[in-house]
């Protein structure tokens, strides 16, 4: 079974994605961590098929985390999708420049309800 690593600090967003995996019977294991630092360690350990990366994280933000992953030969080939509930002008371009291959903003379904 493939593993998808979710790097997301907002509990509501984590719960939403867990529910999607559960109810849509997605044939993958979702593993979530709350910080970029944890994500770097887990990406090396798990070698996930995909990383879903929150753009705004405490500590190392999602774009810097992505850049580090893309420089590491052990994780450089793992696709990273940027996700954010707070889309700002230019975020998609910055995410793609950091190494993300997809960009999903709130209007595409991720909803932050703090």
Write the DSSP assignment of 28-80 as a string of letters: EEEEEESSHHHHHHHHHHH--SEEEEESS-SSS-HHHHHHHHHHSTTTTTS-E
Q: 27: how many CB neighbours lie within 10 A of its CB? A: 8
Q: Give the domain range for residue 37.
A: 2-108
Question: How many structural domains are present in the chain?
Answer: 1
pLDDT of residue 52: 96
Low-confidence ranges of the chain (pLDDT < 50): 108-114
pLDDT of residue 1: 81
Nearest to 3 by CA among 39, 37, 57, 54: 39
pLDDT of residue 13: 86
Q: Answer yes or no: is 7 within a domain.
A: yes
Q: Answer yes or no: is 73 within a domain.
A: yes
pLDDT of residue 61: 94
pLDDT of residue 107: 55
Q: Answer yes or no: is 101 within a domain.
A: yes
Q: Answer yes or no: is 65 within a domain.
A: yes
Sheet with 28-33: strands ordered across:
28-33, 2-7, 50-54, 80-84, 102-105
- The domain spanning residue 77 has which CATH number? 3.40.50.2300
Q: Answer yes or no: is 15 within a domain.
A: yes
């Amino acid at each position: 079974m493939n593993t998808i690593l979710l790097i997301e600090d907002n509990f509501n967003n984590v719960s939403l994605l867990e529910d999607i995996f559960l109810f849509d019977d997605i044939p993958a294991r979702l593993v979530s961590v709350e910080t970029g630092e944890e994500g770097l360690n887990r990406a090396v350990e798990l070698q996930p098929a995909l990383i879903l990366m929150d753009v705004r994280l405490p500590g190392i933000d999602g774009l810097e985390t992505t850049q580090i992953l893309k420089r590491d030969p052990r994780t450089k080939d793992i696709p990273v999708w940027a996700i954010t509930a707070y889309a700002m002008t230019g975020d998609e371009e910055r995410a793609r420049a950091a190494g993300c291959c997809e960009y999903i903003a709130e209007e595409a379904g991720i909803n932050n309800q703090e």
